[in-house]
Amino acid sequence: MAMEVDIDGRTFRVEVQELAADAATVLVDGRQVRVRIREAVSELAARRAEASPALADRPPPGQPVAKDRPPSPVASAKTLTASMPGVVVKVHAAVGQQVQTGDVLLILEAMKMENEIRANRSGKLAEIHVQAGQRVQTGEPLVRFE
């Protein structure tokens, strides 16, 4: 997604390269910048909800999560899914491997950037659904935990 923005009378060309729930990587006049997102803009939130329904039920970054609210499907599911479309560059994990939260499971290239896909939980890997060179779409299963 590319756009022009005016800040203090100056126009900047901004292109979103990677978008997550609370951060984005953008090109600002050709310079790569990592930014944190504090408040979701309604149009952006609507697009994200269309692309990934699991993100739609998350509160805006910085907002507390209600204690009586059930965990989101992403947090409670045994399957880790792709958060963006891209191509699997390398798989670092194997079926039967015991992993810890935060371990790098695979590398996913999206928009010419390599993204480390990390375990969202600790556990033993039951299945790996992808292989190097495979193209994946947002929401597609990557690995399943036992």
pLDDT at 50: 56
List the one residue out of 111, 32, 127 whose CA is nearest residue 79. 127
- Tens of pLDDT along the chain (146 residues) come to 677 877 888 888 888 777 776 777 888 877 888 887 765 454 455 555 555 544 444 444 444 444 444 433 343 368 898 888 999 999 999 999 999 988 999 999 988 889 899 988 899 999 999 999 999 998 889 999 99
Give pLDDT, residue 145. Answer: 92
Which pair of structure tokens corresponds to residue 54?
């699991």
| Entry pTM | 0.49
The per-residue pLDDT for 33 is 83
Distance (Å, whole) CA 90 – CA 114: 10
Domains of the chain: 2-56 (no CATH), 74-145 (2.40.50.100)
- Two tokens, residue 22: 């609370």
Q: What is the pLDDT of residue 98?
A: 95
